[in-house]
Amino acid sequence: MRQRSRSGRVRTLAKGILIALACLAAGFAVTAWRIWSYDASSPGATADAAIVLGGSTWDGVPSPSFAARIDHGVDLYSQGRVAKLILTGGIGPGEQVPLAEAARDYAAGKGVPIEAMILEPWSRITVENLAYAKQLAADHGLASFIVVSDPLHMKRAMRIAEDLGLNAVPSATPRSRIVGRKAKLRFLLRETWFYIWHVGVGRHMPVRHRPTRQ
């Protein structure tokens, strides 16, 4: 009788674990779908500035993916939809210069005046990109924003922007260099995990303090 009772408890526990895992998998899948199907376009939207989220560099030059983000920011500026570009990103592992400085040089080569660009050269992650950009924007009297990044990054970026109280709309680059099924799947899985982390834990954590000077 005891053996049966113990076996019953084990089966109940196993069922509970399976149900919990199924719920977690379903939640992950739903979040992934929301990221995949997120409408990251804002046709005709205007703002004080575009916040171009950081990426990576190759030998001090924006990688193709990062360059595509900067290109879209340049397009927004050239179309008169924003008056300023806030270029974000510090020095990551293996980087030679802050991402923001590499982005400035790249955008300047595309015809954007230096005075139209604001650099945020300290951040390492998306939440810091946006938090520090918000602080710099306040220093320059900027109050509305278009957030620029890759399409699959935009859902999380906009959730962070909302949590930070930014008055912002999304505008994903139409020339994202994240192409191919495998590359998109890897990016989607990564973004899904980071989105869940941010909603559950990250948004409650303090942002690393920004240096007062470059």
In three-state secondary structure terms, 103 is helix
- Rounded to whole angstroms, the Cα distance separating 88 from 101 reads 9
The predicted pLDDT at position 2 comes to: 52
Q: Tell me if 74 sits within 8 A of 108, measured CB to CB.
A: no
**pLDDT < 70 positions in the chain:** 1-6, 8, 10, 212-214
The domain spans of the chain are 49-204
Phi, psi of 16 (to 5 degrees): -60, -40
pTM of the model: 0.88
Tokens of 160: 């962070």
Q: Cβ of 194: how many Cβ atoms within 10 Å? A: 18
CA distance 83 to 130: 18
The pLDDT of residue 202 is 81
Q: What are phi and psi of 200, to 5 degrees?
A: -80, -35
For 103-162, the pLDDT digits (tens) are: 999 999 999 999 999 999 999 999 999 999 999 999 999 999 999 999 999 999 999 999
Q: Are 179 and 152 in contact (CB under 8 A)?
A: no
Calculate Rg over the CA atoms of the chain. Answer: 21
- Check residue 92 and give its pLDDT: 81
| Neighbour count for residue 55 (Cβ, 10 Å) | 24
Reply yes or no on domain 49-204 having CATH 3.40.50.150: no
Amino acid sitting at position 34: R
